[in-house]
Chain A
Amino acid sequence: MYRYDEIDQKLVDERVAQYRDQTRRFLAGALSEDDFRPLRLRNGLYIQRHAPMLRVAIPYGLLSSRQLRTLAHVARKWDRGYGHFSTRQNLQFNWPKLEDVPDILAELATVQMHAIQTSGNCVRNITTDHLAGVARDEIVDSFVWCELLRQWSTFHPEFSYLPRKFKIAVNGAAVDRAATYLHDIGLHAVRDARGETGFRVIVGGGMGRTPILGHVIREFLPWPHFLTYIEAVLRVYNRYGRRDNIHKARIKILVKALTPARFREEVEAEWAHLKDGPSTLTGSEVRRVERRFTRPAYERLPGDDAGYAARLASDRAFAAWAGRNVHAHKMPGYAAVTLSLKKTGVPPGDATAGQMDAVADLAERYSQGELRLSHEQNLILADVRQAELRALWDDAKALGLATPNVGLLTNLIACPGGDFCSLANAKTIPVAQAIQERFDRLDYLHDIGELDLNLSGCMNSCGHHHVGHIGILGVDKNGEEWYQISIGGNQGLTRPGAPAALGKVIGPSFARADVPGVIERLIEVYLERRDSEEERFVDVVWRIGVEPFKERVYGGVHQRPESRQRSLAAA
């Protein structure tokens, strides 16, 4: 964890007081609804379908046991006893009262947490790889760079009223687990020939209604220029990004309109003025931030734990869980573990206060009191001794957090959708549940292998459907909920030769009841056509194209009308 110093703490406390005053003025009628809206939004407070929704930042997804217990306390005291972990490493409370929010924020501030810039047209929570600091392929510890950006972006005076929201992702390892090609700015750590650290700068990617992969505008940005270069990008965007149409206001539209080459020229021209200026990072600042992070106290272990290896060989269920949910660690004898929040029957990402407390205990017992939140809406214990995996598995099973499905179809990502979100075209949670129920047989699931299935309730794409190997999007047709299905998306360079990609829509959309069946047919095609178990669903889509899948799903001319009739009968 990064530990606040006095100044960090003071700023958060002052923000609470400022927001308290803004709320007071609003409730007293001194601030109109219209004037209050941007103020509450930049503090994470939406007015949703049922009640306000408060989005709390979990900077770069890193959380301590103490913080998680405070979140549990907030859920109990001010909400209905649970919270929703989002795909952007935030926690959302769905039922707080507007007038209670200042007290909630004050409570969060006691554990160095806040809701600053979790919404609004400003730089949002910086996201990163959930295996930062422990991955074997690490280049830099991305948490340090994320914290530098957190500070740089917090209350940035020039960039607090951008044309639109702005999302930055940092990836510190060779494999891209942070979807850097799908953010307004993606920063991917690289080393140059001399071994110097720098970043590849990728600009203008994103999902939403105009999904597009980002463009590399700089292959190697030496680390001291990290902030000045980003500042130049933001300045070009702030000056020239469109403000006349909310749907054309993201930086990706500007990059496209100018062309990436011209955009790059603009940035470089601006950067020429800022380069080597006072915001140039210093080695001592990077070290200062590094030192303020608590570091796990690793034991020196000789290598893989013999007991663990023996259990893997003798206990099939344990091995199945370990095969999916346990990840390699850079320290010998250690592992990172995913606690799954994707149990069938529970909305993806939801956690009760009881579960939060229990996970806080697990993190304390097994992983040095820290945990991470992944963009797949799971919780990660990053520093577990292999010798303790078996005990952790037992504890996680008892809590319903040991579903062995990481990377598999039922580990699907879903936004809150029509049950909670006022922007939704369609519900997502019942669809997710129906799919999870259809594929509940573990052997079958493991046979299908790695498959990302992502679900969004509308074009805003909070469920990242564009980059799902299978993506499902809720659409509205004359007031009815329909689902459009795409295949072939990929969130990033998760393995060699598999770059980020956007899914292709397979054809007209489906009624809710038909979705699990359609997924089943897609899977059938895959299982028939794969050349080995190594070849994943998405690899087959890339190799053979979408046609064979289309044919299977829409093949019979009768299938469409039949499905229409059924949905009409249901409606």
Chain B
Amino acid sequence: MAAFIRDRKVVSDPWLRLERNDDGSLPPVPRAGDIIVPLAMWQAQRDSLLVRPGRIGVWLDSHEAPEAIAEDLRLLGVVAVNFPKSGDGRGYTTARLLRERYGWKGELRAIGDVLRDQLFFLSSCGFNAFVLRAGEDPREALAAFGELSEAYQASVERPEPLFRRR
């Protein structure tokens, strides 16, 4: 199991993430075990996914809206948001909406092109779990959380903007 960061600790990952095949078709579903499935698979196979042994998570790609799973959140064990490129910032908004508008309290993980220098912003927006891009050292990356000690804005981590706390 790969190492990743959850709640600012490096831990091993019990979840298996399924991806579409190169031709866009959906892969077979393993018989058991905790899996994170693409949104399309969740939408197509929801009923069968719910009865198989093992927990289910859904991952949204950067263009997929949080509204697509807002009604289903209570059925999910984890929600992940993909960053196909680190510069694609849609996932920051997705995270805030999941947390602040749709009330997701469980694990919210950032996946894809996730780099240490994005961790501060990602965690401000509500991500608490991070699967870094292959080759990045999660232990070294932990230092990034503390690089800035304050933030002006309201965010998931700091529901009140600085001016209400100053």
B89 to chain A: closest residue by CB? A161
Q: Are the C-beta atoms of B88 and A18 separated by less than 8 Å?
A: no
User: Does A239 sit at the interface, judged by CB under 8 A?
Assistant: yes
Minimum C-beta distance from B155 to chain A (A): 5
B8 located at the interface, meaning its Cβ lies under 8 Å from any Cβ of chain A in the complex: no
B92/A14 in contact, CB under 8 A:
no
Is the beta-carbon distance between A158 and B155 smaller than 8 angstroms? yes
Return chain B residues, CB-CB under 8 Å to A282.
163-164
Question: Which of B117, B118, B150 has the most A CB atoms < 10 Å from its CB?
Answer: B117
> Is B96 an interface residue, CB under 8 A from the partner?
yes
A151 touches B87 (CB 8 A): no
A279 to B155, CA, bound (A): 10
- In the complex, the answer to whether A151 meets B151 with C-beta atoms within 8 Å is no
B90 touches A238 (CB 8 A): yes
Q: Which residue in chain B gives the minimum CB-CB distance to A148?
A: B163
Q: Are B93 and A235 in contact (CB under 8 A)?
A: yes
* A273-299 near B? 1/0 per residue, CB < 8 Å: 100011101100100100000000000
Q: Is residue B15 contacting chain A, with contact meaning CB distance below 8 A?
A: no
Asked if A159 lies at the interface with its beta carbon under 8 angstroms from chain B, I say yes
Q: How far is the CB of B19 from chain A (nearest CB, A)?
A: 21
Least Cβ–Cβ distance between B99 and chain A, in angstroms: 11
Of B92, B124, B161, the residue contacting A238 (CB under 8 A) is: B92
A354: chain B residues at CB < 8 Å are none
Is B43 among interface residues, defined by CB-CB distance under 8 A? no
Q: Which of A17, A22, A278 is in CB contact (< 8 Å) with B161?
A: A278
Tell me which residues across on chain B come within 8 A of A218, comparing CB atoms: none
CB contact under 8 A between A7 and B89, given known A15-B148, A278-B154? no
Q: Does A121 contact B (CB under 8 A)?
A: yes
With contacts defined as CB atoms under 8 Å apart, how many contacts are there between chain A and chain B in the complex?
103
Say if the beta carbon of A243 comes within 8 Å of chain B: yes
Please indicate the chain A residues that have their CB under 8 angstroms from the CB of B124 in the complex: 157-158
**Which residues from A are CB-within-8-Å of B151?**
155, 157
> Can you name the residue of chain A whose Cβ is closest to the Cβ of B124?
A157
Taking a contact as CB atoms under 8 Å apart, the answer to whether B153 and A157 are in contact is yes
Q: A238 contacts B89, CB within 8 Å? A: yes
Q: Which residues of B contact A277 (CB under 8 A)?
A: 154
Within 8 A of A (CB), among B45-91: 65, 86-90
Q: Are A157 and B90 in contact (CB under 8 A)?
A: no
Q: Which residue of B lies closest to A234 (CB)?
A: B93
Closest chain A residue to B160, Cβ basis: A278
CB pair A17–B152 under 8 Å, yes or no, is no
**Cα separation A235 to B86 with both chains bound (whole Å):** 18
Which chain B positions have C-beta within 8 A of A154?
Answer: 152
CA–CA, A163 to B90, complex, Å? 9
Please measure, in the bound complex, the distance between the C-alpha atom of A35 and the C-alpha atom of B121, giving whole angstroms: 16
A162 within 8 A of partner (CB): yes
Task: Judge whether B35 is part of the interface by a CB distance below 8 angstroms.
Answer: no
Bound CA–CA A277/B124 (angstroms): 17
Q: Is the pair A285, B163 in contact by a Cβ cutoff of 8 Å? A: yes
Assess the B87–A158 pair: CB atoms within 8 A.
no
Residue contact A35 to B166, C-beta cutoff 8 Å: no
* Contact between B147 and A159, CB atoms less than 8 A apart: no
Q: Which residues of A contact B153 (CB under 8 A)?
A: 152, 155-158, 279
| Chain B residues engaging chain A, CB cutoff 8 angstroms | 65, 86-90, 92-93, 96, 101, 115, 117-118, 120-122, 124-125, 147-155, 159-164, 166
Closest 10 A/B residue pairs (Cβ): A161-B89, A157-B124, A157-B121, A285-B163, A151-B152, A158-B92, A18-B147, A278-B154, A279-B154, A238-B93
Known: A21-B147, A158-B92. 9 other contacts (CB 8 A): A39-B117, A121-B89, A151-B163, A152-B152, A157-B124, A158-B155, A161-B92, A238-B92, A285-B164
Q: List 5 A-B contacts (CB under 8 A).
A: A14-B148, A35-B117, A38-B86, A156-B152, A161-B87
